[in-house]
Amino acid sequence: MKIISQNTAFGGMQGVFAHESKACKGEMTFAVYVPPQATSEPRPVVWYLSGLTCTHANVMERGEYRRMASELGLIVVCPDTSPRGVDVPDELTNWQMGKGAGFYLDATQEPWAEHYRMYSYITEELPVLIREQFRVDMDRQGIFGHSMGGHGAMTIALKNPGRFRSCSAFAPIVAPSSADWSVGAFEKYLGADKAAWRRYDTCALVEDGARFPEFLIDQGKADGFLDNGLRPWLFEEAVKGTGIGLTLRMHERYDHSYYFISTFMDDHLKWHAERLG
């Protein structure tokens, strides 16, 4: 692991780091905020997964999480959204595919399968590095994200309920198997057989028996992607009768931007802190 930058903020440390990833076969960059409490004791960790076109930097620079993370004593890890590098396949004119659009899945189709293994990277490889390098309590983990990252957070939580105690999302893509935003990418990454897509689809996972105690979702009613890409009401319908708790908050006038995310970031961090102890 190499240090790209380290800055003091609210008594803690905001760092950006890079390392060679075996899962993604190339250098990956990620950000970590370490609160001041971590100098003396292991602290809970919350993973934040970003959306399409983003890197680790979007939430780090505009998400406004450090003050509350410092107050609550939460370590916040912000990975990148895809592999990078000159040898990594991409579609330069398609923002919904390739670099910046890893969809937190393990691709099975060429030419994507070699590098696009973000599910394995987030759930297996990066946690080992975080455990080795930072004073984290890995028995207290939460996960959240925005848009494509909300999709990633919710699917990862549903498939790993023994690892994560809390999950929330800002404007998540809850049914990527049928959303305009993601159908094309899913077919290219996973092939034409839609049965393979269900492993990375929040609503389908619930339909197939996956369970997680509860979710918090915040969604702006002025979000231009609400009807074709996000559709949180599909998840609301999917969890009926399952025992899965859902707090779905629909907000007038808010859009899909980081103005929306930063407004409700404190609420999400408090949600996780309450469940992580």
Annotated catalytic sites, by residue? 147, 223, 256
Both tokens assigned to 228: 């074709």
Are 174 and 232 spatial neighbours (Cβ–Cβ below 8 Å)? yes
CA-nearest of 158, 16, 119 to 77 is 16
Are 160 and 59 spatial neighbours (Cβ–Cβ below 8 Å)? no
- Give 205-273 as a DSSP string: HHHTT---SEEEEEEETT-TTIIIII-HHHHHHHTTTTS-EEEEEEETT--SSHHHHHHHHHHHHHHHH
Element (H, E) at 154: helix 148-159
As a whole number of angstroms, the distance between CA 242 and CA 158 comes to: 13
As a whole number of angstroms, the distance between CA 165 and CA 13 comes to: 24
**141 - beta bridge partners?**
45, 164
